Structure 1
Amino acid sequence: MAAAVIVCVAVPVASGRAADAPPPRPTMWYWHNWTDHDGISHMTKCPVRDFDLKTMSAPAGPQWQDRLKSGPAQVIFTVQPAHWNGAWHPDPKVQWIIPLRGTWYVTAMDGHKVVMGPGEVSLGEDQLSRKDPQGHIGHDAGNVGDGPVELMVVQTDEVPTVDRPCRFG
């Protein structure tokens, strides 16, 4: 009787794919505070998924990049004191808001409240909202907890739109 011999060879494969194949395209998420045709603001969770794998600056290795739009922007770092509340107001410009430390919330005029912590991203675009019967306009925002909240805000030169949730991504 012949004996069967089984040979196992370890082949490096990253995450179940061939070593030369690029990793799968990532998907990231952001919250979009947008305005509808009636002037009411809403919060919608939106994907960012049009990534290209390329270097930002040679000789650095490639990384996934999704360049939403090029143009002038201003970066602002803010520290909101403990228990800060911004009351009802529209965003001053179309702006990306990224909490760096602490937790804050945004409540849209439709009542949808989103609580965000470090690393989450929000796009504020409620400039075209209109006062409702309660006098609310734009959004209400404030801190959660007893500490300050640190945010990075990137204000853009984008023109605010209506009825275009998730227009980036």
Structure 2
Amino acid sequence: MSDPFSLAPQPETYWHLWTGADGISRQQQCTISDFTLGQLGPGDSPQFSRPLFDQGNAFVTYLPVGWTADWHENHVPKWIYVLRGAWSVQSMDGQIVTMRAGEYSFGGDQGCIATPEGHRGHLSAQVGDEPCVQLIIQRHDDAWRQAPPGTFR
């Protein structure tokens, strides 16, 4: 298998609804580009990302075909929405969930204990023959930390 990081991602298109100086709403097709390769948090596997504003609390990530991550926790709680492609998450209990475009999850596995095998948090991987593009929204405070299932109703 080739190196998944050998090619930078192509720009992603989206529709931007905006209001002009005349007060009339308009739509324009735009692109998100200038992805950079890096880590979202300490110990995370590298992936391409593009912050959507200076605070870095919302960004688009690009998981190339073949991308995988070792066992890790989400360093902060986050919502992960699949825009294109698919990815999988395996929790410590062995369950594997595959999410495709239009599906989303909440990553709130902070504070896990390590198993005797050294597993902590979750495994994640890109699935299929096209890259997985995700919109990630996270907070840099403790408001979502340790939120039990059903918190967000």
TM-score by length of structure 1 reads: 0.54
CA RMSD after TM alignment: 1.9
Tell me the CA shift for residue 146 of structure 1.
Answer: 2.3
Contact 2:77 2:139 in 1 (8 A): yes
Q: What CA distance in whole angstroms lies between the structure 2 residues aligned with 1:105 and 1:118? A: 12
Counterpart in the other structure of 1:74: 57
Q: What CA distance in whole angstroms lies between the structure 1 residues aligned with 2:71 and 2:140? A: 23
Which residue identity is paired with 1:115? T
> Equivalent residues in 2 for 1:16-165 (5 A)?
74-159=57-142, 160-161=145-146, 164-165=148-149
Which residue identity is paired with 2:151? R
Counterpart in the other structure of 1:10: none
Distance 1:168 1:149, change over 3 A: same
Mapped pair 1:166 → 2:150: yes
Structure 2 residues without counterparts, runs of 5 or longer: 1-54
Contact 1:97 1:124 in 2 (8 A): yes
Q: What CA distance in whole angstroms lies between the structure 2 residues aligned with 1:128 and 1:167? A: 18
Higher RCO by CA contacts (8 Å cutoff, separation 6 or greater): 1
Tell me the CA shift for residue 148 of structure 1.
Answer: 1.1
Q: What CA distance in whole angstroms lies between the structure 1 residues aligned with 2:81 and 2:139? A: 14
Distance 1:73 1:94, change over 3 A: farther
> Aligned residue pairs: how many?
98
Which residue identity is paired with 1:97? I
Q: What CA distance in whole angstroms lies between the structure 2 residues aligned with 1:94 and 1:118? A: 21
Q: What CA distance in whole angstroms lies between the structure 2 residues aligned with 1:100 and 1:85? A: 18
Structure 1 residues without counterparts, runs of 5 or longer: 1-71
TM-score by length of structure 2 reads: 0.59
Q: Percent identity?
A: 36
- Rg: which structure is higher? 1
Indicate the SS of the match to 2:89. Answer: strand
Flag as ranges the 4+ runs of structure 1 deviating above 4 A. none
Which residue identity is paired with 2:152? F
More strand by share: 2
